[in-house]
Structures are given as C-alpha cells and as structure tokens.
Structure 1
C-alpha cells in the first residue's frame, strides 16, 4: 500500500489527522509527483528531512487505516452494492425488486 495512488487515497480519508506540514509534503509527493529534491528546495529543508517527514506521515496514515479500516469498509460496501445491483438486474418480482432497489439506494447514499 505504498504506491502514490494508495497514499493519495489514504490522504483523502485520513489527511486531517496529519499536521499541516505533513499534509503539504505528502500532497507534493503523492498528488503533484514531486521528487524529494524538488520538495526540499521548495520548502527549504534537506532531502533527508523531507524523506523522514514522508515516512512518518505514511506510517501514521497506514496505522489509521489499520485501526479504523475506512478504505477497506468503503471498498467492501461498493462490492456489495455491485453484487446487489447485479442481482437486481436478474430479479423479475416487483416486491423483491423494490426492496432490493431500496437497499441499494441506502448503500449508495452511504458510499457517496
């Protein structure tokens, strides 16, 4: 879970738990695809300082996901919604179909 897309996703879910500085450096690295040298030059610290900050922030984000599991549960809900939608497409009974549609709408309202 260390590729930039996953880090960006972790930032979206848990970025508020980081310091402003950590968020700024993480966004530069993950979202703007800046190198350690580019970030270091821009913010006026050493490459090692940037690396240390990014490593600490990444560890903190992973720890939050490990404990809270928001991304895991979001993905799980999306999978359930897709399965329910597929079942809904195959159902012809009016009452059952209405109940399934209502359940699907409820799930979709949670994952938006």
Structure 2
C-alpha cells in the first residue's frame, strides 16, 4: 500500500496540473494529507462513492500520462545515475585531478539538492 501512495504522490507532483481542480484537490487530500474517503466527502460535500469514483478516474489518468510520457521513471532513473556517478567520482578524487573532481562533485550535489534528494 505504501508503494502505491508513494507512486501516486510522484505522479501527482509531475502530472497533477493536468487533472481537473477537483480531481487534484481530492488526490492531494487523500494521498498527501492521508484523509479518508469519508473526511474528503464531508469537506467536498459529496458522497463517499463520488470521492472513490473521482480518485479512481484521477489515478487512471495519472497512470496514462506516465505510460505516454514516462517523466517520473526518467526522473528516478536520472537520480539513480547521478547518485552512482557521484559515488564513483568521490572514489576517484585523489591526486592530480582532485580540483576537477571536487568541482564535478559540487555540481552533482547541486543537481541532487534541487531534485529533492
């Protein structure tokens, strides 16, 4: 279940603006704020079934966007590659190329920091 929540949060971060305002709000309340369907229904003044249906449609839309565009997977793959390069470079920064290696490490640290590492 935790994997699904994490995946939905990632998808919502990347593709949330493509959802309707109502879908986005319900997804945020459920996945980011951990609200129950009943709590959301009370807040939005709709039935629990309506919340459930909206969640399922929004989840399906987000999965379809990812299937077509693959931005989340690309982002995660890039982060793994950068982290691996960072680790390898730390091992190599000795002797003659220490200054250049340190500069590359600094750049990688900046990229990782901006991506929420």
Question: Normalised by the size of structure 1, how large is the TM-score?
Answer: 0.82
Asked whether the equivalents of residues 86 and 105 of structure 2 are also in contact (C-alpha less than 8 Å), the reply is: no
Q: How does 1:1-112 map to 2 (within 5 A)?
A: 3-91=4-92, 92=94, 94-95=96-97, 98=100, 102=104, 105=107, 109=111, 112=115
Question: Normalised by the size of structure 2, how large is the TM-score?
Answer: 0.79
1:60 Cα deviation from its structure 2 partner: 0.5
The verdict on how the C-alpha distance between 1:25 and 1:75 changes in structure 2, with shifts beyond 3 A counting, is same
In the aligned structure 1, how far is the partner of 2:67 from the partner of 2:49?
Answer: 27
Count of equivalent residues = 112
Unpaired segments of 5 or more residues in structure 1? none
The range that moved more, 99-108 or 38-47, is 99-108
Stretches of 4+ aligned residues off by more than 4 angstroms: none
RMSD, aligned α-carbons = 2.6
Unpaired segments of 5 or more residues in structure 2? none
